[in-house]
Structure 1
Amino acid sequence: METDGPGLIFTILSFLLALTILVFVHEWGHYIVARFFKVRVEVFSIGFGREIYGWTAKSGTRWKISLLPLGGYVRFFGDADAASKGAANLDSTLSAEERAVCFHFKPVGQRAAIVAAGPLINFLFAILIYFGLFMSYGQPVQPPIVAGLAPDMPAQAAGLQEGDRILSVAGHKIEDVRDLVRTVSLYPKMAVDITFQRHGQRMDSRVTLAEDLQVDRFGNEYRRGLLGVQLDAPTEIRTVGPIEAFGDSVSETLTMARMMLTATGQVIMGIRSLDDLGGPVKIAKVTGEQASLGWLAFIEFVALISINLGLVNLFPIPMLDGGHLLFHLFEAIKGSPVNARIQEMGYMVGFALIIGLMLFLTLNDLQSL
C-alpha cells in the first residue's frame, strides 16, 4: 500500500546526516594515510565555500564545516585547489623542509595510496556496518529451492521443477533466496544462463527473464527481472561469530558493488534507461524514506551509499580519485609526471563531465518527481 513520504525537513536533515557521515569517512581516509606518510594537511573541510565553523588543530590542519554541504575535501600543503592540483612553480618556491611534507614531492606510490584511501575506506566503512548488523542480528538464510512454478513464466520455460535448487544465474553464484532475488532483478527482459541441481545432478538452461514493475510503499517504481518461481523454504536466522561475520560482510559489500556496476554498465550500453540513474534529489528522497522506516533501514542505506561513493570515485575521470590514480599510473609507467598541460586539460574535461552529469541527473530527478 502506498503511503505518504516523510516531510521535506525530515528528508533534508536525513540526507545531510548521511552525506556528512560519508563525506567525513571518505576524506578521513585521505587524511589519515597522508598523515601516515608525513604530508602536511592544511584543510579538512566538510562542505564547500565559506567557512561557517572551524578550528585549527595542533598539527596545523584547519578543520571546518563550510556553507555548501554537498561534499568535502582535504587540501594538502602545495595544493592549488580542493582538487589537489599542484600550485605553480613549486620546484622553485619550496625549501627542502617544505618539500619533505608536500604531497606533490612524495613518491608516486605514496601519492597513489593517499588518493586510493578515500574510496577504499568507503568500502571498509560498509563492511564494518554489515559486520555490526550480522553480529547483532545474525544472518537470514533461506535455501533457493523451487517450491512451485508460475504458469507461462521463464522458470517453466527453463525446465525448472519443484525441488530443484538454483545454483547460479547469469554466472553469479546463488547461495540463498536473497542472492536469487537480487541477481534476477538486475536482468529484466534479458537472456540469462541458469544452473540448477536436481537429484544431485547439475543442469544448465538459458532463458529470457520477464519484467516486473514494482511499486514500493512510497510510490517509487522499479523495473526488475522476474523468473516466476515460488520459494517457500523456511527462513532461518543463523548466528555467526566474528570471523564468519567479517567474511559475510566482505561478501555482502562485494555483492552490492557488483550489482551497482552491472546496473551502471547496462545504462552505459543502453540496455537500461537513463531514468534508472539517480541524482542528488532522488538520493535525498530515498534517504528520507529509508530513515522514516527506522534507524536500521537508514544504516543499511548508508552502507549502500558508501559503496556507491567508493565506486564512483574510482571511475577514471579527472577531478575524481580514479582520475588522479590514472595520472599516477601513467607517471609510474613513464617515470615522470604527466605533462602539466595535459593534466590541466584533463581536469577541465572531467569538471565539465561531472557538472554536466549532475545537472542532467538533477533535472531527471525533478522531472520524475
Structure 2
Amino acid sequence: MMSLLSTLVPFVFVMTVVVFFHELGHFLVGRWCGVKVDAFSIGFGPELFARVDRYGTRWRLAAIPLGGYVKFHGDPNAASVGTSEAVSTMSPAERAVTFAAQPVHERAAIVAAGPIANFILAIVIMTGIFYVEGRSILLPRVATVQADSAAARAGFAPGDVVTSIDGQPIRSFVDMQKIVSASSGVALAFGVERDGHDVSLTATPERRDVKGALGTASIGVLGVAASTDPHDVRTERLGLGDAAAEAAHDTWFVIDRTAAYVSGLVLGREKPDQLSGPIGVAGVAGQVAKIGIGPLFNLIAILSISIGLINLVPVPLLDGGHLLYFAFEALRGRPMSLGAQEFGFKIGLALVSMLMIFATYNDLAHYARG
C-alpha cells in the first residue's frame, strides 16, 4: 500500500499541476475576451469537491486525474464541439457571453492559450531551478573512447574537448549528450579542440537500447566517457535574466527534439515503443519524487511541454484540431458545418483513444520486460 501511494501521490500532484495551468490558460483568456465560464474541472468522472464562484463558474475536482476541461457558456459539451440549440433561444445579452459568439480570432486565442500556458509554466519552473541551483557544467572533455564505437571510427581521442555539433556551440557534456542521444543514425559534424588546435570530425551515433525508468529506450550513443577530473566541473550561478534565457533554451530543445522524434516516427527512423502513457508517467513520478522536490518540478516542466505539444497536434478533439477548424472558418468566411465538426470529433476521439491504448500497452510491456 505504501509503495502504491508513493507512486500515485506524486503522479496525481504532477498531473494536477500540469492540467490546472493548461486549463487556466483557456480560462483566463476566455474571461479576458468576455466569455462566461460555466465549469472549470480538474479530472473527469465523479465529482469529489465543487464550489461556485461569484461569476457563476463551478470549480470542480473529479475522481479521475487524467485531464480536465473548461466549459464555456453555450457549449454543448466540454470539448466545445458544435453549437448548443440553447444558444439560439438565448437573449442577445446572454448570447454575447458564449464562446460561439466570439470573433474567430478570439476563439483561436482562447484555444491556443492552453498549450501556451503549458510552455510558460515550463519556462517559469526551469527559471526558478536555474536561479536557485545554478547551472552545473561538466566540460565536454573526452576521458576515454570505447573501442569499435562511432567515436573511435570518427577519430576521437582522449583529451578532446567538443566545442560544437553541427555549428551549435557545446558548453557542457550534457549539451553533447542531449544532441547525440536524439540523433541515432544521423551524421553529426563535431568541432573539437585537441592540444590547442581545432579539429573537425564526423560521427554517426549508433542506436543502442539503454535501460531507464520506463524500461528499455533506444537512443543514440557515441561511445565516449566524460572526464572525472574535478577541475572540469563547475557550478555557474545565474541571474534571473540568464536563468530565464537558459530555461527558454531548454524548453525549445525539448520541443525541437520531440518534433524530430515525431518526424522520425513518421519516416520510420524511430520506434513507436518509445511512447509512454499514464502508467509510465506514474512510475517515473514516483521514482523522481524519491530523489527530491527539485527533480519532481523538473519533471512537471518536461510533462508540461509534452502536454502543450500534444494539444497542438491538428487532430479534432485536441486544441490543434479546434485551431484547424478556425483556420478553415477564417479562410471560408463561415464555420464548418455542424455535421463536419461532429464527424471530425469522432475521428479525433478514435485516434486519441487508440494512442492512449497503444501507449498503455507500451507501459505494460516495458514493466513486463523489467
What is the TM-score with the length of structure 1 in the denominator? 0.91
2:329 matched residue in structure 1: 331
| Equivalent-residue separation in structure 2 for 1:288 and 1:31 (angstroms) | 30
Shift of 1:147: 4.2
The range that moved more, 86-95 or 339-348, is 86-95
1:33 matched residue in structure 2: 29
1:84 matched residue in structure 2: 80
Aligned CA-pair RMSD: 2.2
| Equivalent-residue separation in structure 1 for 2:252 and 2:167 (angstroms) | 15
| Equivalent-residue separation in structure 1 for 2:363 and 2:225 (angstroms) | 35
Q: Which amino acid aligns with 1:131?
A: T
Structure 1: give runs of 5+ residues left out of the alignment: 1-5
1:273 matched residue in structure 2: 271
Question: Structure 2 vs 1, CA of residues 226 and 48 (structure 1 numbering), >3 Å: closer, same or farther?
Answer: same
| Equivalent-residue separation in structure 2 for 1:315 and 1:266 (angstroms) | 16
**1:293-322 deviation line (CA, Å, top 9, x unaligned):** 222221111111111111101111100001
| Equivalent-residue separation in structure 2 for 1:256 and 1:178 (angstroms) | 14
**1:145-176 deviation line (CA, Å, top 9, x unaligned):** 33443332212222334554434446755332
**Which of these residues, 15, 18, 23, is aligned with residue 19 of structure 2?**
23
**Which of these residues, 246, 249, 271, is aligned with residue 247 of structure 2?**
249
**Which of these residues, 187, 192, 198, is aligned with residue 192 of structure 1?**
187
| Equivalent-residue separation in structure 1 for 2:261 and 2:165 (angstroms) | 15
Q: Does 1:122 align with 2:118?
A: yes
Question: Structure 2 vs 1, CA of residues 120 and 317 (structure 1 numbering), >3 Å: closer, same or farther?
Answer: same
- Any residues of structure 2 matched to 1:1-369 within 5 Å, and which? 7-89=3-85, 92-169=88-165, 173-188=169-184, 190-198=185-193, 204-216=200-212, 220-232=215-227, 234-369=232-367
Structure 2: give runs of 5+ residues left out of the alignment: none
Q: Which amino acid aligns with 2:56?
A: G
Preserved CA contact (<8 Å) 1:139 1:238? yes
Shift of 1:289: 1.2
| Equivalent-residue separation in structure 2 for 1:358 and 1:171 (angstroms) | 38
| Equivalent-residue separation in structure 1 for 2:320 and 2:132 (angstroms) | 35
Q: Which amino acid aligns with 1:224?
A: I
What is the TM-score with the length of structure 2 in the denominator? 0.91
Shift of 1:69: 2.1
Shift of 1:103: 0.9
Q: Which amino acid aligns with 1:80?
A: P
**Identity of matched residues, %:** 37
Q: SS of the counterpart of 1:38?
A: coil
**1:72-126 deviation line (CA, Å, top 9, x unaligned):** 1000011010101233346632222122211111111111111011111111111
The range that moved more, 8-17 or 241-250, is 8-17
Question: Structure 2 vs 1, CA of residues 94 and 145 (structure 1 numbering), >3 Å: closer, same or farther?
Answer: same
How many correspondences in the alignment? 362
Preserved CA contact (<8 Å) 1:164 1:196? no
| Equivalent-residue separation in structure 1 for 2:315 and 2:97 (angstroms) | 27
Q: Which amino acid aligns with 1:332?
A: A
